[in-house]
Amino acid sequence: MRMLINVPETVVADALRGMAAAHPELTVDVENRVVVRRDAPVAGQVALVSGGGSGHEPLHGGFVGPGMLSAACPGEVFTSPVPDQMLRAAAAVDSGAGVLFVVKNYTGDVLNFEMAAELAEDEGIRVAKVLVDDDVAVTDSLYTAGRRGTGATLFVEKIAGAAADEGQPLERVEAVARQVNENARSFGVALSACTTPAKGSPTFDLPDGELEFGVGIHGEPGRERRPMMTSREIADAAVHAILDDMTPRNPVLVLVNGMGATPLLELYGFNAEVQRVLTERGVAVARTLVGNYVTSLDMAGASVTLCQIDEELLRLWDAPVSTPGLRWGR
């Protein structure tokens, strides 16, 4: 096993200590596994809380800051955080305007955030929840009932975070988050398996010369195994899979996301092919983001997320944001 770690048992705590040292604008509670923007709670603002298993960085801790999340709860690698973390995060960031939980559609996340919402409401904290379920590759998977939550999580957290930053009320921030999720679709492809620190070996078998078409961000099986394809062929297949499920009437946001081990040289080349397909299909592109944002440890591969937007959603997307993983306009 070749990993830049000490021991598997401390990998998340070690990462959180490093995050705290690198980002003094955040309050990082290593023991209780909560990352909070240092100026929280912000008077009059709805707070956004999200979280999930570690191994998807910068999601979610890297998206804590003005214009995006108020707090994040990192679980162990590929393991849901627990309700106590979520409750602690909600209490730390609630200004009285309410808290929106952004939940990826994985069974552990859904159950634990539901329990945390009940606990928070018992303590007088108003809570709303939005479920992100954008992956069109499969309907059900090893970890979900229904579609998996993947790249659209970034769009939901950024756009809803901007709405909260403007002082919009909880009901409106929740509605914006739901609109973004409903307008977004994703599809991913793995060129190699990922390796968890605890296992020390690939989490699934992917023979040389094959790829997993429609993979999940934990290495869950996709639609099928296919012989290795070119970037052009993968873009054709992935974008068509998304557009078979949605017919954009408005321009779209595009996320070309690396799974963790794919260099930008390849991702930008892949983006060129994605843009080609969208042009051929008559889909207008408003903004494009390319990079590693919703990752799967050291998996090679990429995902594409499209989100249909209107002028208001685009304005919120363009609004300033200042987090470790996403920053512009400030």
Q: Which of 23, 60, 218, 240 is catalytic?
A: 218
pLDDT at 289 over 90: yes
Cα–Cα distance measured from residue 284 to residue 308, given in angstroms and rounded to the nearest whole number:
10
How large is the average pLDDT for residues 94-120? 97
Q: Which residue bears the tokens 């552990």?
A: 108
Q: What are the distances in angstroms from CA 35 to CA 9, 54, 61, 77, 312?
A: 20, 13, 6, 16, 29
Closest alpha carbon to 320 in 151, 164, 90, 122: 164
Is 23 one of the annotated active-site residues of the chain?
Answer: no
For position 143, what pLDDT does the model report?
67
How large is the average pLDDT for residues 224-230? 95
pLDDT at 148 over 90: yes
For position 209, what pLDDT does the model report?
94
Q: What is the CATH number of domain 10-183?
A: 3.40.50.10440
pLDDT at 290 over 70: yes
For position 280, what pLDDT does the model report?
98
Is 60 one of the annotated active-site residues of the chain?
Answer: no
Yes or no: domain 184-324 corresponds to CATH 3.40.50.1010: no
Exposed, middle or buried: residue 329 (CB in 10 Å: 0-12, 13-18, 19+)?
exposed
For 294-312, the pLDDT digits (tens) are 999 999 999 999 999 999 9
Local confidence band at 145 (pLDDT 50, 70, 90 cut-offs):
confident
For position 253, what pLDDT does the model report?
98
Cα–Cα distance measured from residue 183 to residue 310, given in angstroms and rounded to the nearest whole number:
10
pLDDT at 203 over 90: no
Domain ranges of the chain: 10-183, 184-324
Give Cβ neighbours of residue 311 (< 8 Å, ≥ 6 apart): none
